[in-house]
Structure 1
């Protein structure tokens, strides 16, 4: 009798343990958190930075050094919560990037279902999603290979704070998203706000995308200025690039663009056009312009895989500013030690002509670097990237 009771208890315990494992397995399947990141360090040469040659050790040029967490919890009924928190840092010094923000790259939470995804927080806008993803700067040329000054935000000069974003499901290759960033100004739903929208088609070898952006009071709304420019007053532009800092006191910034990419065998061809307009510029002592100005930018790029380990790419970018012209060539030779680790040689050059946004003779100014003292600037980098 005691033996039968003992066996029954053993069987019951086994069943209970198996039930616990089943429940644990189901719970684990319902939620997940993923740690990811990258470190991109290298050695760099610049032909002219403020009149001098420069030898530097820079981090996050080709691929932004970062560490992040992304997660998902299934709620049932085809509904789930999602979140991402992503930090940017300097791979040589460990200091925070994005102006010292703890999670300056992204931080958001949202809900997703068959109808799409809604997220709330600091996020990439539609321009980054649909144009940036096809730009040479985001794919392989890095922030120094962005359109001059990154005035059109294709390389994420700024992210959207206080943002509500909707992203559609993918319908046979078609998708779109839209984002609204609240300005945070009492009594106004427009001041300091940002609206973007984008969409595209991607199937097989072809991708075609479009995007639109409209930012009100960009000096404080997206550029990070602490005070708004006032007519005739003294105002320090939060933008250092001579390409467009003289227009940063505009009341409104708008941009529209289109990009495409087509793959044939080992080669991928890309093209992009953006039209950017600074509307109703407020004249100040440091930004004497007024009225409205516009930029036209065209980019073509080519990427070729010689083997699974070797890749080379080149791009040409032309920017027509209000009173200046910028020609830029970017090239890279990349060797992949594994799917996550690569060594690369990156070279970029820019030539400027005309008068820049500050009313001075235009000088070459590769994005993120100290401008040249002449109309030419060359940047060469040997780097190592590891992604995890």
Structure 2
């Protein structure tokens, strides 16, 4: 794995990493008072279509890197626990996990505000968490409890948090893109100076409604950012089998596009910041996040019939977003391996406590009986 390179760094001393360990939910991007600027070059260059790419030199801080590590580790642990709950039949119905793609959710959130909107497909647990949701709400929703973010009625595919600009996960492939462009239309009409990120997978990239919505967004110069999370498999079909042109960032033709390494949280942050500025001034832009999911398409898909286990382990070894940040933290003396391991233990405990709380819901409440006429 190519480790991002620190280009410059201030001489201000780092605050002891022990201060990071007190960080608790909900997710925040600042878990330390240390704001010493770091400039880090992304591991891969950006590829542009009809626009000039942003600089590869990303400005960050040691506290932000620590928050990236913690937030992505929390998301990973949360999804792995959801896998176990599903197999234990405590989660029913559809369940699509996000492990492997955490850098997209974390990097995007670092570049925008909660007044900006996000709408996505059914792989939505981690996006909900990045928008300020809690793990208790996540597990309660997954288990059909009324403490869930959608009162237990939506399940895995329909998380929602309007007050923080998250307009949900959607089960109909590609249908969230026209809705996202509608949100962007409302933002422009109200002169909010905010943008909408409409997220979809490579499997949805061939949907006709996506191009219809993009055409209107371009005609009206809407602040819409279409984000293709290209994890290379639409359900069980490889992108090269489903798309004559898998260069999804070019699909807008007359609309600018950028392709980036979606496993690099800093690259995602840099491009999303660039895209927001562009959309507010010039209208829509397409982003292709080159990422990868470790689980199958859903829990009913083993994920190993259309790809090899060696392929999955190779991505984990070379491109894992959490390991990339871990190596950066350790190699530049921001944190030690032990401190990061201790943080992972605390995260595991937090996840276990959230699951226990969701499971226990209702055990201390009076039973209500309703007699029908």
Task: State if a TM-score over 0.5 links the two structures.
Answer: no
Report the TM-score when normalising by structure 1. 0.31
Greater C-alpha Rg? 1
- Higher relative contact order structure (alpha carbons within 8 Å, sequence separation ≥ 6): 2
